[in-house]
Amino acid sequence: MKRAYNFGAGPATIPTEVLEIVQKELIDFKDSGISIMEASHRSKLYDDVHESAIGNIRELYKLPDDFEVLFLQGGASMQFAMAPLNLYEGGKVQYANTGAWSKKAIKEAQIQGIEPEIVATSQESNFDHIPEVNFDDDCDYTYITSNNTIYGTQYREFPSTASPLVVDASSDLFSYAIDWNKIDLLFGGAQKNAGPSGVTIVIVRKNLLDRVKDSVPTMLRYKTHADSNSLFNTPPTFGIYILNLVLEWIKSKGGIGAIDKLNREKAKILYDAIDNSGGFYVGHAQKDSRSLMNVSFNIKDKDAKLEAQLLEEASKANMIGLKGHRSIGGLRASIYNAMSKEGVEALVELMQEFAKKHN
């Protein structure tokens, strides 16, 4: 069986052990004679999967009882609109702008006639760091993107504010422990770090659910989905099934603490290779803002020809998804939870050999 080292930013690598279970259960799930894809979302067969996934999220995240777990669709991009639709009460709203996804979220708020205050940004340096963020305590809500896939930056800790804090955590879900005292709404598309595309996880504090105005369409209300346990309409059942298997895989590895430790080890191996290359490789993010999930870098002088050559050699060595985002170019290695330490070591070995030949 051929399995590539998939460094793509998303949809991203899924643990091989999970895919093997999916393969085994695909046609006949739990001796039911049908695939879980064919099971009614109202059936006991699927309900067990649904409840298990919610339970695993609560267990892994040590989620307090005053939060709801929702399974929605539309990706994080839908949440850029849903968050203001559900939380805005006509007052002040503040955002930190740390990259492309924050900018898209700001735009969605503006479409609704909201003019967010941008209280922190790193745009002037092409989003190469997480700026200091100080939110006011009297906002309807405040907003950050926890990890920036394009630029390879990540919050070391979340800002403290008395205002509700919204966190787009699409690219670092289930990779570190969260202080829920600081957060009121956290969301993310599963396809980067928690499973397949099609599932959006929303974790929202219950006391925010009644804020929504009557003018908001039924399907765009968090309360609609909370009141129906995410079964108001047909949820992405197959995606939730795989998400649950990924959560079980995280538990089998020792939980989020063990995953965080491994992620730090992987990131150190790769960042050390960049820092010790004698300037041949240059990271985009400033060191105190470096992401543990996405490592964006260039070859010296942003040599596009050499970067293309390295990508070609990586492909021949069964490593894919390393091309940097079109907005900044270069290379990017996404080393999410499911990327093995061996995969990172193989990439570093290739990078070091390439540097010796071309430095």
Catalytic residue among 92, 192, 266, 323: 192
CA of 254: how far to CAs of 93, 222, 251, 258, in Å? Answer: 39, 32, 5, 5
User: Residue type at 174?
Assistant: F
CA of 13: how far to CAs of 9, 35, 196, 268, in Å? Answer: 9, 23, 9, 20
Class of residue 83 by CB neighbours under 10 A (exposed 0-12, middle 13-18, buried 19+): buried
Catalytic residue among 101, 172, 249, 323: 101
Class of residue 74 by CB neighbours under 10 A (exposed 0-12, middle 13-18, buried 19+): middle
Contact of 331 with 7, CB cutoff 8 Å: no
Entry field: residues in the chain: 359
- What does the alpha-carbon distance between residue 120 and residue 106 come to, in Å, rounded to a whole number? 13
168 closest CA partner among 138, 139, 148: 148
- Omega cis (within 30) before 11: yes
172 belongs to the catalytic site? no
- What does the alpha-carbon distance between residue 100 and residue 123 come to, in Å, rounded to a whole number? 10
Catalytic residue among 103, 128, 168, 249: 168
192 belongs to the catalytic site? yes
What DSSP character marks residue 137?
Answer: T
- The CA radius of gyration of the chain, in Å to the nearest whole number, is 21
Please list the active-site residues: 101, 168, 192
